[in-house]
Structures are given as structure tokens and as C-alpha cells.
Amino acid sequence: MEDYKHRVQYYETDKMSITHHSNYIRWMEEARGYFLSNIGWPYDRMEKEGIVSPVTAVECKYRRSTTFPDEISIRVYIQSFNGIRLCVGYEMKNADEQVVCTGHTEHCFLDENGKIVRMSKEYPEFCEAIAEYIEE
């Protein structure tokens, strides 16, 4: 799958002209949304199915600074998925192919009442779509 591209916006930088650290987490969400759309499971489809997927953990490791108007390429991959818990990995690179940030997010799946959804039993087609991108 093609990497997600994000251009650093001026408003995402701080007084030192460096991207504020909180934005990398937003970029993970943008890239994850792009990834899910490309495998046929965009957030709006999940919501129509009555599924929400909250973030239960996030980790972000900063390697190099980025500044306006750098273009950042974000590779999304699946670190693990057991049908209930999903761990998504991210690798962000600048135009020189230098890694600027790595991270991961963990997610569960809940129904509209807040109960765990066992995706492997209730939505096997989601599991099949995810399986192709698992990198252990």
C-alpha cells in the first residue's frame, strides 16, 4: 500500500519553527484513517456497522525534527491483531528518507453499548483485510 503523505503546516510548528510533538499523534490518526479506507474499512463504515475503535495506548519516538513545509511519508503496518486487540505501527520519513518518528497505537473494538466486539467472529472480512499487512 502507498504511504500516507502529510505536509507540515505552519500552524503545526512552535516558536522555534519545529513541529510541535503533539502533531505526530494526529498524523498517526490521519495515516490510520487512510490505511483503513484503503483496505475497505473506513471509519464511517465501522460506525455504520455499530463499531467504535478507541485508542487504548499510544507510543511515539521522535528521531529528527520536522519543519514547515516538509513532506512526511507515513508507512502504516499492523504489528499484531488477535481479533480483539489491534496494534498499528507507524514509520515517518522526511523527503531524504530519514526516519523522523516511529510509533504505535493499540485499539480495541466496541459496540454502541461499550461491549467488546470480537472482530474475528463477527467481522471475519475485516480480519482478512488486516491480515495482509501484519508484520511481526
Q: 14, 70, 96, 111: which is the annotated catalytic residue?
A: 14
Q: Does 48 map to a domain?
A: yes
Q: Does 136 map to a domain?
A: no
Catalytic annotation on 14? yes
pLDDT at 136 over 80: no
Residue 93 pLDDT class (50, 70, 90 cuts): very high
Residue 103 pLDDT class (50, 70, 90 cuts): very high
Domain count, the chain: 1
* CA proximity to 130, closest of 90, 78, 58: 78
* CA proximity to 64, closest of 97, 27, 29: 97
Q: Can you give the residue range of the structural domain that contains 61?
A: 4-131
Q: Does 64 map to a domain?
A: yes
Q: Does 62 map to a domain?
A: yes
Residue 101 pLDDT class (50, 70, 90 cuts): very high
Q: Does 106 map to a domain?
A: yes
Asked if the bond preceding 69 is cis, omega within 30° of 0, the reply is: yes
Tell me the per-residue pLDDT of 20-77, one tens digit each, with 9 for 90 and over.
999 999 999 999 999 999 999 999 999 999 999 999 999 999 999 999 999 999 999 9
- The CATH number assigned to the domain holding 120 equals 3.10.129.10
